[in-house]
Structure 1
Amino acid sequence: MKLFKVFFLLISTMAFAQEFTVSAKISAIKESGPHVIYVGWQFRSLSDENPEIIRILDSRNMEVPYFLEYGATTVNEQGFRKFPIITKTNIPGKSSSFTIENTSAGKMQELTLAIANTDAIKTYSISGSNDNREFFGLVNDQILNGLNDPADTKVYKTIYLPLHNYKYIRIDLDDKKTLPVNLLEAGQLTESITPVAMEELVPYVKVEKADGGKKTRIRVKQDHWILIDRMVFDIKGPSFYKRNARIMVNREEKVKRKLHKTVNVVEEFELGSSTKNAIDFLHFEEKEFIIEIDNQDNPPLDIASVKFYQAPLRLVADLKAGEDYTVATGNDKLGAAQYDFINFKNKLPKNLPVATLSDAKTINISAPEKSPAHNPWIMWVCIAAGAGIVIYFCISMVRDMKDKV
């Protein structure tokens, strides 16, 4: 029986190894915590652009929860714009006052304070002024609490105010029951939107004339199914032009049991001398296609280049320092992963460390089958092993019956 157990352990191991067809190693993780993993076009092309079946595996081949951010072209970076604290006054055992200059030169509806950690709960009032002499009420007798950040020596607290454009803002804190707090900074949280660099693809491109120059055809061919998110034309001339263009793909349709080849238009757009000639697509995915430009009676466009780009695919996962991780895909039997981790997406920091992914490798190039059940010799070995087990148990039962007799 031990022999059979070892045999089936070997078979199950082979089955697991062939579940995935593409894999790539994640660079060494130096610090535990959430990381961003950018998945490039090479990995995605080998997996036939099916991001839902991607899995992250640790050194024990256990799944690591992650969530997917597909096609994000911008990132939001949060900063802090400081306002000068021009006066600080304190009446011991009674109150503290801070006057802040609003340097934003605009309307204001919130103010963020950086306060040194304390367990105090304070009552505060806020007033505004344009001359720093006469102040008018904005907020009266509100509670300021939760002034302790276990991960930092200070805490940021945002106070919401009635919409105003006062140049000076005064905060009055009640110190009758508790000691004064240490106000370190005051200002506004800012959020900037930064475009994420797209990854350039390198398909085969050939520009040719058609219909006696009435049309220009650009043939594009790729080795794999690769998603294209942006296409950019570099056109040198003429100085003034406005042309209709389209993307066409060849299709085969079955009509009355016969295959008929057709040409389908999947996207139409316009090229013009007054535009940037950058065309964005939503999940345009083809191995081969043709870009056709109508020249009519005009001279053909002088096309210096056509470049294709893909928006980054981001995996966000909570990784441990020193652990070995692999990103794998190619198991078509898997559906979209369902992990609890996505529920904490909005609670993660804006700027996460990046874990680098190595070049993708195919696990089994020679065997297109993804499961040993489709491999004849493994199937016959399994059948033979099963028959052997049945015979073994039959012989054992016969021996037991003879012993009893």
Structure 2
Amino acid sequence: MNIQIKNIVILILFICLKGYSQMDQYAYKSILPEITDTWHAISLPDEMFSNVSPNLSDIRIFGITNKKDTIEAPYLLRLKAEKKTFNKIPFTILNTSYNEKGTYITMEIPTKQAINQIHLDFEQSNFDWLITLEGTQDRKEWYTIKEDYRILSIKNELTDYQFTTIRFPNTQYHYFRILIKDTKKPVLQSANVTRYEVKEANYKEYDIERLNIQNPKGIKKTIIDVNLKTPVPVSYIGVEVQETFDYYRPISIRYMVDSIQIQQGSWKPRYKELGSGVLNSIEGNIFTNTSTIAQKFRLEIDNHDNQPLKINKVIVKGYQHELVARFTNPGTYYLVYGNDKMRKPSYDLNYVSANIPEEMTTLIPEARQTIDHEEPIVAEPLFTNKIWLWGIMSIVILLLGGFTLSMMKKK
């Protein structure tokens, strides 16, 4: 009798779930073009980012086989971000000398490796120096690598900023000499010599729908509101400044997460910190951050007691997003998304990815479709129709009653 009751429960659950496929748990789907290989890259369209979870956990690839079975294809999410490597190169500071031209720091590189960066740390905390960098193989004839290169340090109650890294093309010399052009002798605390290599990111630039630049009176700030056409993953914001004179302004970057109603008919946007830095005339005014899906941004530049800067342009970019998917069964496949309750999937590919080929065909999903969510015909009456509910309860009562009577007869 216990087995009979168990079978009834299983039957009820089966009826409730019948006709409810995995794909019905999501809001949108896009057909993937014909699958021709085991491995394919799938380019994620911009339109999908307004309907996915912020951490992209609800993306799935479902396939429908010829037998109408639903299968799931595993994938890896790849952001085409830059890849940076720093290789420290051994060196020795041979001597530090001083004359009317300035201070000379001579370094020896014992290896034959090319270098492209020298980072310097000084005891002084406030300076603005021009330097010349030279190289030689025999310390007899010196060749200029960088001339009038600017390094800077500002430290006060408002900020703490340093730019003391000399960057130059890959260069191979046995000796390097740095001339710091200043009447005061600097005190070098430490130095690092590196070979810096970077694989550039694949960025996609987004169109700005509205750019509003304000300089409100009384707050000594420039406020820049940037609205994109649609929510997209942003990882790069650049600011082009018209001014040619030297400037140094702290900047904060935030993105709008939602709006709150402060009074009837009035809404106030709520922002979250995305990044901060310094807008300056020395380095490129490019600010990178963790890829974040957003549509509206606010940049605030602290002008202190200075006149506001003239902003020519704001550039917004994001890493190209793609899926690397494995297809092992023939069928019609869909890119599916739109369910913020879904957890990030766990596939074997997350742990064993050595066999993924470097080259593969990229698929472009077709236009987005809305997934219809029809209420299951059988499942609904089980919970809302009293006739079905009383019928099931009657069957269970009869079975339990029969079981009880049989036990009493045995006694």
* Deviation of the 1:275 alpha carbon: 2.8
Give the counterpart letter for 1:68 in structure 2.
L
- Give the 3 Å change call, closer, same or farther, for CA 316–355 of structure 1 in structure 2: same
Tell me the alpha carbon deviations over residues 203-232 of structure 1, each in whole angstroms, 9 at most, x when there is no partner.
Answer: 643222212583211123468764321112
Q: Does 1:197 align with 2:203?
A: yes
Residue in 2 that maps onto 1:179? none
SS in 2 for 1:237: coil
Residue in 2 that maps onto 1:296? 304
- Give the 3 Å change call, closer, same or farther, for CA 323–265 of structure 1 in structure 2: closer
Written as runs of structure 1 = structure 2, the 5 A alignment for 1:310-321 is 310-319=318-327
* Deviation of the 1:335 alpha carbon: 2.1
Question: Residue 246 of structure 1 is aligned with which of 249, 252, 257?
Answer: 252
SS in 1 for 2:335: strand
Distance 1:20 1:298 in 2: 53
* Deviation of the 1:277 alpha carbon: 1.6
Structure 1: tracts of 5 or more residues without a match? 76-105, 108-190, 253-259, 400-405
Residue in 2 that maps onto 1:137? none
Aligned residues: 274
* Deviation of the 1:396 alpha carbon: 10
Give the counterpart letter for 1:50 in structure 2.
N
Residue in 1 that maps onto 2:333? 325
Residue in 2 that maps onto 1:403? none
Distance 1:195 1:288 in 2: 23
Residue in 1 that maps onto 2:276? 268
Residue in 1 that maps onto 2:347? 339
Distance 1:195 1:331 in 2: 29
- Give the 3 Å change call, closer, same or farther, for CA 306–32 of structure 1 in structure 2: same
Distance 1:66 1:384 in 2: 46
* Deviation of the 1:64 alpha carbon: 0.9
Residue in 1 that maps onto 2:363? 355
Q: Does 1:51 align with 2:56?
A: yes
Residue in 2 that maps onto 1:381? 384
* Deviation of the 1:58 alpha carbon: 0.8
Written as runs of structure 1 = structure 2, the 5 A alignment for 1:174-189 is none
- Give the 3 Å change call, closer, same or farther, for CA 193–70 of structure 1 in structure 2: closer
* Deviation of the 1:244 alpha carbon: 1.4
- Give the 3 Å change call, closer, same or farther, for CA 281–382 of structure 1 in structure 2: farther
Distance 1:261 1:193 in 2: 37
- Give the 3 Å change call, closer, same or farther, for CA 348–245 of structure 1 in structure 2: same
8 Å CA contact 2:203, 2:317 repeated in 1? no
Give the counterpart letter for 1:61 in structure 2.
T
- Give the 3 Å change call, closer, same or farther, for CA 219–337 of structure 1 in structure 2: same
Question: Residue 216 of structure 1 is aligned with which of 219, 222, 228?
Answer: 222
Q: Does 1:34 align with 2:39?
A: yes
Distance 1:239 1:42 in 2: 41
What's the % identity of the aligned pairs?
Answer: 20
Written as runs of structure 1 = structure 2, the 5 A alignment for 1:131-142 is none
Distance 2:254 2:201 in 1: 30
SS in 1 for 2:211: strand
Aligned Cα RMSD in Å? 4.7
- Give the 3 Å change call, closer, same or farther, for CA 309–328 of structure 1 in structure 2: same
SS in 2 for 1:293: strand
8 Å CA contact 1:234, 1:306 repeated in 2? yes
Tell me the alpha carbon deviations over residues 260-297 of structure 1, each in whole angstroms, 9 at most, x when there is no partner.
Answer: 99876552211223333221001445454421112234
Question: Residue 64 of structure 1 is aligned with which of 53, 58, 73?
Answer: 73
Distance 2:351 2:41 in 1: 16
SS in 2 for 1:198: strand
SS in 1 for 2:311: strand
With structure 1 as the length reference, what TM-score do the two structures score?
A: 0.53
* Deviation of the 1:14 alpha carbon: 4.5
8 Å CA contact 2:291, 2:318 repeated in 1? no
Tell me the alpha carbon deviations over residues 366-405 of structure 1, each in whole angstroms, 9 at most, x when there is no partner.
Answer: x8xxx969xx978843766444444467789999xxxxxx
Distance 2:200 2:273 in 1: 34
Distance 2:281 2:50 in 1: 34
SS in 1 for 2:72: coil
8 Å CA contact 1:55, 1:328 repeated in 2? yes
8 Å CA contact 2:47, 2:230 repeated in 1? no
With structure 2 as the length reference, what TM-score do the two structures score?
A: 0.53
Question: Residue 232 of structure 1 is aligned with which of 204, 216, 238?
Answer: 238
- Give the 3 Å change call, closer, same or farther, for CA 339–226 of structure 1 in structure 2: same
Residue in 2 that maps onto 1:171? none
* Deviation of the 1:326 alpha carbon: 0.7
Q: Does 1:24 align with 2:27?
A: no
8 Å CA contact 1:57, 1:63 repeated in 2? yes
- Give the 3 Å change call, closer, same or farther, for CA 249–333 of structure 1 in structure 2: closer
Distance 1:346 1:394 in 2: 59
8 Å CA contact 2:16, 2:382 repeated in 1? no
Structure 2: tracts of 5 or more residues without a match? 1-10, 85-111, 114-196, 259-267, 403-411
Distance 1:201 1:382 in 2: 52
8 Å CA contact 1:49, 1:225 repeated in 2? no
SS in 2 for 1:346: coil
* Deviation of the 1:74 alpha carbon: 6.0
SS in 2 for 1:44: helix
- Give the 3 Å change call, closer, same or farther, for CA 264–332 of structure 1 in structure 2: closer
Written as runs of structure 1 = structure 2, the 5 A alignment for 1:111-130 is none
